Amino acid sequence: MARDPLKVLSVVRQRAVDQRRQALAACLAAEAAAGDRIRRLEEAVRLDQARADAAPDPLLFHDIFLATRRHWRTEQQVSRVALAEAGHQAEDARAALAAARLAAEAVDRLIAERAAAAQAEADRRAQHVLDDIARGLRK
Protein backbone atom coordinates (compact mmCIF):
# COMPACT_ATOMS: atom_id res chain seq x y z
CA MET A 1 0.00 0.00 0.00
CA ALA A 2 1.51 3.27 -1.13
CA ARG A 3 1.48 6.17 1.28
CA ASP A 4 0.41 9.60 0.22
CA PRO A 5 3.61 11.69 0.39
CA LEU A 6 1.64 14.81 1.34
CA LYS A 7 0.07 13.08 4.33
CA VAL A 8 3.50 11.87 5.43
CA LEU A 9 4.80 15.41 5.00
CA SER A 10 1.87 16.71 7.03
CA VAL A 11 2.75 14.36 9.90
CA VAL A 12 6.38 15.45 9.72
CA ARG A 13 5.36 19.11 9.76
CA GLN A 14 3.07 18.57 12.76
CA ARG A 15 5.89 16.87 14.64
CA ALA A 16 8.11 19.83 13.82
CA VAL A 17 5.44 22.16 15.24
CA ASP A 18 5.28 20.06 18.41
CA GLN A 19 9.06 20.12 18.77
CA ARG A 20 9.17 23.89 18.28
CA ARG A 21 6.38 24.31 20.83
CA GLN A 22 8.36 22.25 23.35
CA ALA A 23 11.49 24.27 22.63
CA LEU A 24 9.56 27.50 23.21
CA ALA A 25 8.19 26.13 26.48
CA ALA A 26 11.73 25.31 27.63
CA CYS A 27 12.90 28.83 26.72
CA LEU A 28 9.99 30.41 28.57
CA ALA A 29 10.71 28.23 31.61
CA ALA A 30 14.36 29.31 31.55
CA GLU A 31 13.28 32.94 31.24
CA ALA A 32 10.91 32.59 34.19
CA ALA A 33 13.59 30.87 36.27
CA ALA A 34 16.06 33.67 35.57
CA GLY A 35 13.44 36.26 36.52
CA ASP A 36 12.68 34.39 39.74
CA ARG A 37 16.40 34.20 40.54
CA ILE A 38 16.72 37.97 40.11
CA ARG A 39 13.75 38.57 42.41
CA ARG A 40 15.20 36.22 45.05
CA LEU A 41 18.55 37.98 44.85
CA GLU A 42 16.90 41.39 45.21
CA GLU A 43 15.09 40.11 48.28
CA ALA A 44 18.38 38.78 49.68
CA VAL A 45 19.99 42.21 49.19
CA ARG A 46 17.06 43.86 51.00
CA LEU A 47 17.31 41.39 53.87
CA ASP A 48 21.07 41.86 54.05
CA GLN A 49 20.61 45.63 54.18
CA ALA A 50 18.00 45.28 56.92
CA ARG A 51 20.37 43.10 58.95
CA ALA A 52 23.20 45.56 58.44
CA ASP A 53 20.97 48.42 59.61
CA ALA A 54 19.80 46.40 62.61
CA ALA A 55 23.32 45.46 63.77
CA PRO A 56 24.16 47.00 67.16
CA ASP A 57 27.66 47.92 66.01
CA PRO A 58 27.52 48.81 62.28
CA LEU A 59 31.29 48.64 61.92
CA LEU A 60 31.61 45.21 63.51
CA PHE A 61 30.31 43.28 60.49
CA HIS A 62 30.82 46.03 57.92
CA ASP A 63 33.34 44.08 55.84
CA ILE A 64 31.15 40.96 55.83
CA PHE A 65 28.09 42.95 54.73
CA LEU A 66 30.07 44.61 51.94
CA ALA A 67 31.46 41.29 50.70
CA THR A 68 28.02 39.70 50.82
CA ARG A 69 26.47 42.64 48.99
CA ARG A 70 29.17 42.47 46.28
CA HIS A 71 28.43 38.78 45.91
CA TRP A 72 24.67 39.39 45.56
CA ARG A 73 25.23 42.15 43.02
CA THR A 74 27.53 39.90 40.96
CA GLU A 75 24.91 37.14 41.07
CA GLN A 76 22.28 39.64 39.97
CA GLN A 77 24.38 40.70 36.99
CA VAL A 78 24.88 37.08 35.97
CA SER A 79 21.16 36.44 36.34
CA ARG A 80 20.28 39.51 34.28
CA VAL A 81 22.56 38.29 31.49
CA ALA A 82 20.89 34.87 31.73
CA LEU A 83 17.47 36.55 31.59
CA ALA A 84 18.42 38.55 28.50
CA GLU A 85 19.81 35.43 26.80
CA ALA A 86 16.68 33.46 27.68
CA GLY A 87 14.59 36.29 26.25
CA HIS A 88 16.53 36.19 22.97
CA GLN A 89 16.21 32.41 22.81
CA ALA A 90 12.46 32.69 23.45
CA GLU A 91 12.15 35.20 20.60
CA ASP A 92 14.02 32.84 18.30
CA ALA A 93 11.86 29.92 19.45
CA ARG A 94 8.69 31.94 18.77
CA ALA A 95 9.90 32.71 15.25
CA ALA A 96 10.78 29.05 14.67
CA LEU A 97 7.36 27.98 15.95
CA ALA A 98 5.63 30.46 13.65
CA ALA A 99 7.63 29.19 10.68
CA ALA A 100 6.85 25.56 11.54
CA ARG A 101 3.15 26.36 11.89
CA LEU A 102 3.16 28.16 8.57
CA ALA A 103 4.83 25.19 6.86
CA ALA A 104 2.32 22.76 8.42
CA GLU A 105 -0.60 24.94 7.38
CA ALA A 106 0.74 25.15 3.83
CA VAL A 107 0.86 21.35 3.56
CA ASP A 108 -2.62 21.01 5.07
CA ARG A 109 -3.93 23.63 2.66
CA LEU A 110 -2.34 21.80 -0.29
CA ILE A 111 -3.92 18.52 0.87
CA ALA A 112 -7.32 20.23 1.14
CA GLU A 113 -6.97 21.82 -2.30
CA ARG A 114 -6.03 18.49 -3.87
CA ALA A 115 -8.93 16.76 -2.11
CA ALA A 116 -11.31 19.45 -3.35
CA ALA A 117 -9.95 19.08 -6.90
CA ALA A 118 -10.32 15.29 -6.71
CA GLN A 119 -13.88 15.66 -5.42
CA ALA A 120 -14.69 18.11 -8.22
CA GLU A 121 -13.28 15.65 -10.77
CA ALA A 122 -15.31 12.81 -9.24
CA ASP A 123 -18.45 14.96 -9.34
CA ARG A 124 -17.75 15.87 -12.96
CA ARG A 125 -17.35 12.20 -13.91
CA ALA A 126 -20.49 11.22 -12.02
CA GLN A 127 -22.39 13.95 -13.83
CA HIS A 128 -20.97 12.71 -17.13
CA VAL A 129 -22.21 9.17 -16.36
CA LEU A 130 -25.65 10.54 -15.48
CA ASP A 131 -25.68 12.52 -18.73
CA ASP A 132 -24.79 9.37 -20.69
CA ILE A 133 -27.59 7.47 -18.96
CA ALA A 134 -30.05 10.27 -19.71
CA ARG A 135 -29.01 10.32 -23.39
CA GLY A 136 -29.47 6.56 -23.57
CA LEU A 137 -32.98 6.83 -22.17
CA ARG A 138 -33.95 9.47 -24.75
CA LYS A 139 -33.06 7.27 -27.71
Domains in the chain, CATH or no CATH each? 5-138 (1.10.287)
Whole-number mean pLDDT of the chain? 91
pTM of structure: 0.74
pLDDT per residue over 11-42, tens digit each?
A: 999 999 999 999 999 999 999 999 999 999 99
What is the structure's pLDDT at 98? 98
CB 105 within 8 A of CB 9: no
Helix 62-138 vs helix 5-54: crossing angle, to nearest 10: 160
Band (pLDDT 50/70/90 cuts) for residue 139 is low
Contacts of 35 (CB under 8 A, 6+ apart): 83
pLDDT tens digits for range 104-119 = 999 999 999 999 999 9
